[in-house]
Amino acid sequence: MKALAEVRYRLEHGKNPELISAPEEADLLIDALLTGPSRENLAQIHSLDRDLLPSGYPDHELLVGVDKEQQVGILAFMDEYGNFVTLGSPEKDGELAYFIQGHMTEFPAHSEIPIALVRQALREFIASAGKRPECVEWQEY
């Protein structure tokens, strides 16, 4: 089966990313983030169906994070049209911190969404060949 996306979230994924071959495998990634170490709760995902830039780097990036205690998550998407982060509930104030391979990444307040929406958006990203998911609301980042 052809790989559709590559994922990095654990230290060992630096040069050896995990591969996702079907939209249904998005749930496996979310489950791994939910049950894994709290310092590895954010994943970087690139679709393998999109062209690379002349530099050899992907022209896009999706970050997917989960907070297992609160059962919420976050998405950030970057491409030639800009940087976006999910628009969530206004109930939480202050910066939000998630960790990829042990490194902290901060996100703006009001950007966490329910885990079910995180799962749906990741499946959509994979099925759409790397387009920004439309099932969630976005704000400029």
**pLDDT tens, position by position, 106-125:** 999 899 999 999 999 999 99
Confidence of residue 13 (pLDDT cuts 50, 70, 90): confident
For residue 99, the 8-state DSSP code is E
pLDDT mean over 40-62:
95
Cα 115 to chain centroid distance, Å, stands at 12
Q: Distance (Å, rounded) from C-alpha 128 to C-alpha 130?
A: 6
Annotated domain spans of the chain: 5-140
pLDDT digits (tens, 9 = 90+) for 58-100: 999 999 999 999 999 999 999 999 999 999 987 766 779 999 9
Average pLDDT over residues 46-67: 95
Total H helices, total E strands in the chain:
2, 10
Confidence (pLDDT) at 95: 79
